[in-house]
A and B are shown apart, each in its own frame.
Chain A
C-alpha cells in the first residue's frame, strides 16, 4: 500500500513538473522545472530498484545537460516568450490528432492483459542482490554483452564534443554567412553592420 501511495505521489509531481516545463514563459523557469522533474524521475528509478540509473540520471541529466541549457539561455540572454495566440490553426488540428492518439494508447495500455514475453526473466530483485547489487549487475551486462555499443557511445561523445566546439565558434561557417540570406531580426550581426559605420 505504501508502494502504491509513493508511486502516485511521485507520479503526480512528475506530471506537474512536466506541465510546468511546457507551459512556463521564462526559459530559465522551464529549465528549473525540468531539473525537479528529473529529480522525481530519478526517485522513481530508485523506487524501481535501479539505484545506479537514479544516480546517473541526476549526475548527467540534471547536473550536466540542464546546466548546459541554463548556460546557453543566460549567455544568449533569452527573455520570456510573448504570448501570441493569433497563428495557431495548424497546431490546433495537431492537438486533436495528438490527444486522439494519446487516448487510444492509454486505453490500450490499461486494457492490456499483462502478458509478458521476451526478456531473460533472470534478474529479479533477489537475483540482483545476490549477484552483488544493482551496479554490479548492470556493469556486468554493460561491459560483457554490450561492450561494442559502449565503445561506440564513447566515440559518439567524442564526435559530439568536436562538433559542438566547431559549430559554436565565432568564426564557424554557420555564423559567418555561408548559406542563404534570411530576415535579420533583432540584434544579429547583419543588423549591426546595416546600421552604418562609425
Chain B
C-alpha cells in the first residue's frame, strides 16, 4: 500500500499549483479555476487521511467540500458576469475599486 505521506506530498504540490494560479493569473476566471484546484488538493488530503485512519468522516467531508465549491463557483461566476457587464473586463489589474 502506498504510504499516506506520498498522497500528502501530491496534494501539497497541487495546492501550490493552484496558489500560484491565484497569485499570478490576471484573468478572474483563471483565479476561480485555481481556487477549484486548491479545493481538489484538499479533497485528496481528506480521502487519503480517511483511508489511513480507517474513518469515513473524511469522505463525508469531501462531499461537503464539493458542495460548497459548487456554490462558490456559481456565485463567483455570476459576479464575474455582472462585473463584465459593468466594466467590460475581467482583468484583475483593472478591478481595483476596493483598494485602500
A/B contact in complex, CB under 8 angstroms:
yes
A→B interface (CB under 8 Å) = 3-4, 7, 11, 14-15, 18-19, 21-22, 27, 30-31, 34, 37-38, 41, 44-45, 48-50, 52-53, 56-57, 60-61, 64-66, 68-69, 72-73, 75-76, 78, 81, 84, 87-88, 91, 94-95, 98-99, 102, 105-106, 109-110, 112, 114, 116, 118-124, 127-128, 137-138, 141-142, 145-146, 149, 153, 156-157, 159-161, 163-165, 167-168, 170, 172, 174-177, 179-180, 182-191
Contacts of A188 in B (CB 8 A): 85-89
Q: Is B23's CB under 8 angstroms from A94's CB?
A: yes
| Closest 3 pairs between A and B when the two form their complex, measured CB to CB | A188-B88, A119-B53, A160-B71
Q: Is A174's CB under 8 angstroms from B79's CB?
A: yes
Given A188-B85, A189-B88, list of 19 further CB < 8 A pairs? A7-B6, A15-B10, A15-B17, A19-B17, A22-B17, A22-B37, A34-B36, A37-B37, A56-B63, A57-B66, A81-B27, A102-B16, A122-B54, A124-B54, A141-B57, A175-B82, A182-B87, A185-B87, A185-B91
CB distance from B65 to the nearest CB of A (A): 10
Contacts of B1 in A (CB 8 A): 3
Q: Is B12's CB under 8 angstroms from A102's CB?
A: yes
Q: Is A53's CB under 8 angstroms from B77's CB?
A: no
Q: Is B29's CB under 8 angstroms from A110's CB?
A: no
Given contacts A27-B27, A191-B88, contact A110 B5 (CB under 8 A): yes
Q: Is B16's CB under 8 angstroms from A98's CB?
A: yes
Residues of B in contact, count (CB < 8 Å): 79
Q: Is A41's CB under 8 angstroms from B40's CB?
A: yes
In the complex, A75 Cα to B81 Cα: how many Å?
9
Query: Closest residue of chain B to A31, judged by CB?
Result: B33
SS class, residues of chain B in contact with chain A:
helix
A38, A50, A137, A167: which contacts B78 (Cβ < 8 A)?
A: A167
B→A interface (CB under 8 Å) = 1-10, 12-14, 16-21, 23-27, 29-30, 32-34, 36-37, 40, 43-44, 47-57, 59-60, 62-64, 66-75, 77-91, 93-95, 97
Q: Is B43's CB under 8 angstroms from A91's CB?
A: no
Given contacts A73-B29, A167-B82, A174-B86, contact A118 B36 (CB under 8 A): no
Contacts of A183 in B (CB 8 A): 87, 94
Between A and B, 29 residue pairs with Cβ closer than 8 Å are A21-B17, A34-B33, A41-B43, A48-B7, A49-B51, A60-B70, A61-B69, A64-B70, A65-B73, A68-B73, A69-B33, A72-B77, A78-B27, A87-B93, A94-B23, A99-B16, A105-B12, A120-B53, A141-B56, A153-B68, A156-B68, A156-B71, A163-B78, A174-B79, A177-B86, A182-B87, A183-B94, A185-B88, A189-B88
